[in-house]
A = this chain, B = another copy of it.
Amino acid sequence: MNSLQLTALPDFPLVGPGDDLAALTLAALEQAGIRLRPGDVLVYASKVVSKAEGRARKLSEVKPSAVALEIAKTCDKDPRLVELILAEANEVVRIRQGLLVVEHRLGFICANAGIDHSNTAEDEDLVLLLPEDPDGSARRLHQELSAASTAEIAVILNDSHGRAWRMGTVGVAIGVAGLLSVSDRRGAPDLFGHLLQITELGTADELAAAASLLQGGADEGAPVVHVRGATYVPGEGHLQDMLRPRELDMFR
């Protein structure tokens, strides 16, 4: 039977700077009675990776530039937060009351450069940047998990993004390892031997969205989701493959 099983690893501990996420994952898998099998995927909320990598910043230590002060006025945000957003951005895409949409330095378009205020700690002063290099983080986790298991698996870092024309955030992949992030189906025959006209499947993004259903928008103690039964193409994927090249961008 064609089925997919997602499990939020239970009782995952609160994570702090320097924590060994791979070791915590292996312990949590064991506790959950899950033995990694070939084709399994582990989806990490980017937030938990950021915490482990020490990406928290204190707003009180940020000195906003003149540009940040100006933009902060327009979008009605904390100028220190805007300063951090600009430092994480290639360019500002849209500014509106309550909203600052940028191209993140990693290439994707998102609100606030993915900087998160809630759920960091009991400290109002702390915000959390996205991981420095999500593909690299995924690759390290993939390596460390693979070293402890003979199973070929995949790792995805997900984050919650808004969309241009749809309401509500959905999980998307911002880092991958062990799978091609986009599955090329062009030319594959369909049920009736027609060539499939659909171009490519956003497999990593769909896995990120599926896992996000168990993470509830915050990590809420369920930052790592184990997925079994997914069809994907093993290989060396990259965030870059999921991003529409600038020359094909019709909507910026």
A-side residues, CB < 8 A to B, are 1-8, 10, 32, 94, 96, 101, 108-109, 116-122, 124, 160, 162-172, 181-183, 185, 190-203, 205-207, 209-210, 212-214, 216-222, 230-231, 241-244, 249-252
Q: Given A203-B213, A206-B209, A213-B206, A119–B194 Cβ distance below 8 Å? A: yes
- By the criterion CB–CB under 8 Å, are B199 and A218 in contact? no
Q: Given A200-B169, A213-B231, A214-B2, A117–B194 Cβ distance below 8 Å? A: yes
Separation of A162 and B249 alpha carbons in the complex (Å): 12
Shortest Cβ gap from A11 to chain B (Å): 10
From DSSP, what is the main secondary structure of chain A's interface residues? loop
22 chain-A/chain-B pairs, Cβ below 8 angstroms: A2-B8, A2-B10, A3-B8, A4-B5, A4-B210, A94-B251, A108-B166, A118-B195, A119-B194, A163-B164, A163-B202, A164-B249, A165-B251, A168-B182, A169-B198, A169-B199, A169-B202, A170-B206, A171-B206, A196-B218, A206-B212, A207-B213
**Integer count of this chain's copies in the complex:** 2
Separation of A32 and B185 alpha carbons in the complex (Å): 28
Separation of A218 and B160 alpha carbons in the complex (Å): 26
Separation of A229 and B166 alpha carbons in the complex (Å): 24
Separation of A120 and B250 alpha carbons in the complex (Å): 30
- By the criterion CB–CB under 8 Å, are A190 and B218 in contact? yes
Q: Given A206-B212, A214-B3, A201–B169 Cβ distance below 8 Å? A: yes
Name A1's contact: one of B7, B181, B183 (CB within 8 Å): B7
Contacts of A201 in B (CB 8 A): 160, 168-170, 212, 216-217
